[in-house]
A = this chain, B = another copy of it.
Amino acid sequence: MTTYKAACMPGDGIGPEIIAEGRKVLDSAGEKFGFDIDWTDYDTGAERYLKTGELISEDELKELSKFSTIYFGSIGDDRVKPGILEKGILLALRFYFDQYVNLRPIKLLKGVSTPLANKKPSDIDFVVVRENTEDFYVGIGSRVKSGKQRDELSVLRDLYNVKFGIDVETDADELAYQIGVVSRQGSKRVMEYAFDLSMTRDKKLTSVDKANVLTDVYGLWREVFEETKINYPAVSTDYNFVDAITMWFVKNPEWFDVVVTPNMFGDIITDLGAMIQGGLGLAPGGNINPDGTSMFEPIHGSAPKYKGQNVANPLATIWAGSLLLDTLGEKEAAAAVVSSIEHSIEKGAVTRDMGGSMGTNEIGEWIAKDILNK
């Protein structure tokens, strides 16, 4: 029997509750389909950070690379300033393991209600491939405060011969800047992934950018897309500016099959995508390095106010578990998980946010049993 070593990072807020359900389901899929998952827990998150000041250590990162996969709950805590946990843990993992594909299926499951009028499951079924290691997520930027940073600003000013509207010498603490970086290789690899994926689906790929304003980074992005598509003559392609695509997600989601997007725009449009597929409670994501360690998570946050109340919806996490299995090569088990999620919805075995009456802890059990009974 195959045994997969999996790292588990439940995290903050509702994280531990939803991850527990996900594990029940994955263990049950293993029982059914003949593999075993050997879980190791990590306590990364707000509690540890508040106690020790540590986010994630270099040693842990090295250790983690020995696992076949990582299952991630959620992070975020009102006692910690925005950005610290996100950048120090979640983004640190995505970057360290070079998980350059953020895979986010947008699919309205049968029985789930969407806020869009007149749209049915067959209208909302596409996948967003979000670049996950570049763009404005590289973390380069500065608040211009001290003498050193004032010098940096002067360098930039001289470099670009730009008037900042303020006096750099005297008002320098009044300004912040942020730098995004897009590389040819970084764009190409994620686009190739998206083209390959679209070859297994409807052969239709939409690229997102804002090449008419952020001409430097997204001009390059668009150029690489033009070059890459030559190698995929069977795939029909188009562009959407990021502002426009938010309209079409709402008006004509049936237009889309695979969407490839730079990192930050991907963050925005996949939340919108999550909503049209029924809400964050139903939106899974995979952070994938096809040649390395991948990580799976619900795309929602830690929802601190629901912590410990047994009301959180674990379906996004369970669905992320299906993506995890799929990436391990357990295709049949992965499909069984999604089919049992659909079955649970059909039977009304859902949490309150979906109109049901079950607790978080009952959902995983229900789905785990359903898989065994198949």
Contacts and interface: CB of A to CB of B under 8 A. Distances in A.
Interface string A205-222: 000001111111101101
Contacts of A114: 117
Interface stretch (A11-19, A35-43, A173-181, A286-294): A173-181
A251 B115 contact: yes
Contact of A180 (B86, B177, B186): B177
Given A175-B183, A275-B250, A213 B162 contact: no
A213 B81 CA distance: 11
B219 A247 contact: no
B86 A213 contact: yes
A232 interface: no
- Chain B CB count within 10 A is highest, among A82, A138, A242, for A82
B176 A141 contact: no
A243 interface: yes
Given A219-B83, A244-B271, A246-B271, A214 B178 contact: yes
A91 B117 CA distance: 36
Contact of A213 (B91, B164, B212): B91
A213 B137 contact: yes
A348 B14 CA distance: 51
A220 to B, nearest CB: 4
A234 interface: no
B115 A217 contact: no
Interface stretch (A54-62, A153-161, A305-313, A316-324): A153-161
A157 B274 CA distance: 37
B177 A178 contact: no
A165 B178 contact: no
Nearest to A135: B178
Interface stretch (A26-34, A64-72, A261-269): A261-269
Nearest to A114: B117
Contacts of A165: 183, 185-186
A268 B248 CA distance: 12
A182 B176 contact: yes
Total identical chains: 2
A49 interface: no
Nearest to A275: B247
A164 B270 CA distance: 26
A201 B97 CA distance: 49
A341 interface: no
A6 interface: no
A250 B251 contact: no
Contacts of A178: 179-180, 182, 214, 216-217
A269 B251 contact: no
B181 A185 contact: no
A358 interface: no
Interface of A: 82-83, 86-87, 91, 114-118, 136-143, 152, 155-156, 159-160, 162, 164-166, 174-186, 210-217, 219-220, 222, 242-244, 246-247, 250-251, 264-265, 267-272, 274-276, 279-280
Report, nearest first, the 6 A-B pairs whose CB atoms are least far apart.
A141-B216, A243-B271, A174-B184, A246-B272, A82-B212, A247-B275
24 contacts: A82-B211, A82-B219, A86-B212, A116-B250, A137-B213, A141-B215, A143-B220, A152-B159, A155-B159, A174-B184, A175-B182, A175-B184, A176-B181, A176-B220, A178-B214, A178-B216, A178-B217, A242-B268, A243-B270, A243-B271, A246-B246, A246-B268, A268-B268, A272-B272
